[in-house]
Amino acid sequence: MPTIHCKHLIFDLDGTLIDSAPSILACFAKVLEQAGVAPRVPLEERLIGPPLAQTLQTLSGIRDDAAIAAMIESFKAHYDTKGYRETVAYAGIAEALAELKAAGFGLVLATNKRIQPTRLILEHLGWAGLFDSVWALDSFEPKLGDKTAMLRAVLQRLAIEPAHTAYIGDKAEDGWATQANTMPFVAARWGYGAFQDTPGHWLHLDAPRQLPSAFVRWQG
């Protein structure tokens, strides 16, 4: 397996480190039921990842900002109190992260999930001290619009070199955002996404146990 020389590893969360689909989809179902709206598309794992507003628009077919805002608040009420507790880490992830940290890599989290439930989940899993820093779209003011912008902002805030910083994510969109920032990308194929017709230089992994051997600590 090819390896990537880098100093820092930035991880996606949903579908990469954790299986959050059951709890998130259950919360979406409750939100739509309370709003009296039938889902326009199936409640499937492929919905996990984009910002809440985008996903709720896709599910409901509603484009009214006030209605979407009300559904977002309803989702938060469900997910931030009970839903997040149903989150589980993928088998082998905790061990892989611990091994990478012990090897001297700087571990960072950058997710489209809101920062509040992200921190709740890290506490729930006992990972609060594992990452050097944790970022979400709403970590910034004004809130950033997509992962491309977030990765760019994180690199700037942390003053780290893109060429020595890999991003690990489970969707092709993660890869394109990484490539836009001239960073190496690792595709977590155990997650929610698919990777057809993607660049050949992306490194594809089939299981979390492969993560430690995918990276070599850059000594430059």
Same-domain status, 15 and 28: no
Q: Which of 43, 63, 85 lies at the terminal end of a domain, its last residue?
A: 85
pLDDT for residue 49 = 82
pLDDT for residue 83 = 93
Q: Which of 52, 85, 118 lies at the terminal end of a domain, its last residue?
A: 85
Same-domain status, 51 and 126: no
Three-state secondary structure call for residue 161:
coil
Residue written as tokens 């009420």? Answer: 77
Tens of pLDDT, residue by residue, the chain (220 residues): 789 999 999 999 999 999 999 999 999 999 999 999 999 999 998 898 888 999 999 999 999 999 999 999 999 999 999 999 999 999 999 999 999 999 999 999 999 999 999 999 999 999 999 999 999 999 999 999 999 999 999 999 999 999 999 999 999 999 999 999 999 999 999 999 999 999 999 999 999 999 999 999 998 7
pLDDT for residue 2 = 84
Helix 21-35 vs helix 52-60: crossing angle, to nearest 10 = 60
pLDDT for residue 113 = 94
pTM of the model: 0.92
Distance CA 111, CA 51 (A): 10
Which residues lie closer than 8 Å to 62 by C-beta, 6 or more apart? Answer: 37, 56, 68, 71
Same-domain status, 159 and 101: yes
The size of the chain, in residues, is 220
Same-domain status, 54 and 156: no
Give the chain's domain count. Answer: 2
pLDDT for residue 69 = 96
pLDDT for residue 50 = 86
Distance CA 205, CA 35 (A): 40
Same-domain status, 76 and 176: no
Distance CA 152, CA 165 (A): 12
